[in-house]
Amino acid sequence: MKEVVIVAGLRTPFVKAGGAFKNLPAYDLTARLIRELMLRLDFPSDKIEEVIIGNVIQSVESANMARISAVLGGLPNHIPAYTVNRNCASGMEAISQGFDKIRHGQAKIILAGGAESMSSIPIFSYSPELTDILMGASKAKTAAQRLQILSQLRPQHLKPGVINQNDPIADMTMGQTAENLVRDFGLTRQEQDEFSLRSHQLAVAARPKLAEEILPILIPDGGKGEAVLDDIGPREDSKLESLLKLRPVFDKDFGSVTAGNASPITDGAAIVLMMDVETAQEMGLEPLGYIRSYAYAGLEAQRMGLGPSYATPKALAQGKIKFSEIELIEINEAFAAQVIANERAFASSDFAEKIGLKAPLGEINRDILNVNGGAIALGHPLGASGARLILTLLKEMGRRGNSLGLASLCIGGGQGASFILERK
């Protein structure tokens, strides 16, 4: 088996959906990253053997957005590309597939990552009757036939309906699954909002560091051109008193999950360049880090937020290391409640017994958790977040001189993903 390294990575700023990136498809954001990364490294792009990109909400106009991204990003036509979807872990899925291909000698160099334009999420739908009428009219052979079919239209046919956003397995929204964890672990509104405030404060303080992984994006605007330089989400003016005043969103009567302690809907992309260690040495490229192991796990969809607590023991076992050896941690902040619940589960003997462990993993030290803020402040573009976690973690491990790090996230539908990363 070959050792696999990540030698470089880049991401866009993360921008709230409906904002500056609203007219930029996911493939456009990804193509810009590919082109820029090749330029910065002066990398021979024809040496890349495959492109793998995670994306959750693919547009019918841009199926297999990975291929579109690769070609528009300036890569030669002979380089194949494909798109993967594991919901929130799609970026990690792309990287894990690249890891496996390189480790087993099927490729030497792969570009992988993830992207999401959550501005493109379809919100409204129209009745099947309207679709049938319009389809029938399009097939009419004469104007008279077309008018006859269109005469069936009624005002109610033109009224849009809101698309059901519930997870089809859990039959609830992701926010409602977070409320389940609030009840299961007895979490308070105060501790959730305090965690949210921490995320914003750390992200604001980390702007200069995060800038090292960000490509500023120029927005076409009739020749005016606006540049988005960094993440839009972190709030310098975030205050606990303001967060505590926000109303619950998912359980309006008894809930505590709010817009303030949940990750915002976001657009963004992130990629990494992977290769086997021998190829990196031959090309004179210094690794950001090694992929030691990874794992995915399934669990009850109604409590999908506990995914890291299920996947991390598997990743640690595959990497043959102990949780106590981990020096830096990135857990995706889908919700403050979800991260805090995982903190409790990691340290719980009852939870360890439930999932077949002899002992709990141990306490998560907040001093090494999401030290540059997390998705509550930065945002959570579904397909991109997994790749962003890995890139951010490796960059910070390099600054601190850490040897082992953990990147993990929960996955809608009831899964978890964890990566163990290493610097030598």
Q: Provide the annotated active-site residues.
A: 88, 380, 410
Structure tokens at 132: 């049938």
Phi, psi of 208 (to 5 degrees): -60, -35
Burial class of 138 by CB neighbour count within 10 A (0 to 12, 13 to 18, 19+): exposed
Assign 288 to helix, strand or coil. coil
Pairing type for strands 15-16 and 266-276 reads antiparallel
414 vs 168: CA distance, rounded Å: 11
Q: Could you tell me if residue 7 is left (phi over 0), alpha (psi between -120 and 50 degrees) or otherwise beta?
A: alpha
Closest CA to 28 of 116, 135, 90, 139: 116
43 vs 276: CA distance, rounded Å: 16
Ranges assigned E (strand) in 183-265: 217-219, 226-228
76 close to 46: Cβ distance less than 8 angstroms: yes
